[in-house]
Amino acid sequence: MSRDQIVEMLRVFLGERSNEAKLVDQINGHIARVVEFGFWGQLKKDASQFEVRRIIAALVDGDCLAEMDRKLEEYLAHADASA
């Protein structure tokens, strides 16, 4: 998605404003926060284009999954030892 597309979509939710430049600055701030949180990524070819990432993939990386798997193995071993 382009920055312009995102601005047009968000205008509906932010309501009418008399100062167009202030509205666009506010939306750019929101975009920056979403990128900072990892939910969107800027394309390397064009910084004005964004890719929307899957939320779980943005929050849970391979290291986190490996740690969960290790803990599940520990729980399973503990359950087997208790039985």
Q: Mean pLDDT for each 10-residue chunk of the chain (83 residues)?
A: 88 80 89 88 87 76 88 90 79
Residue 67: exposure state from Cβ atoms within 10 A (0-12, 13-18, ≥19):
exposed
pTM over cut 0.85: no
Q: What angle do CA 75, 77, 80 make, to 5 degrees?
A: 110
Q: Enter the tokens of residue 63.
A: 């290291």
pLDDT in the model for residue 73 = 93
pLDDT in the model for residue 53 = 77
* CA dist., res. 16 & res. 59, Å (int): 33
C-alpha separations of 74 from 35, 51, 60, 63 in Å: 35, 37, 20, 17
pLDDT in the model for residue 71 = 93
| Number of neighbouring beta carbons within 10 Å of residue 60 | 12
pLDDT in the model for residue 58 = 67
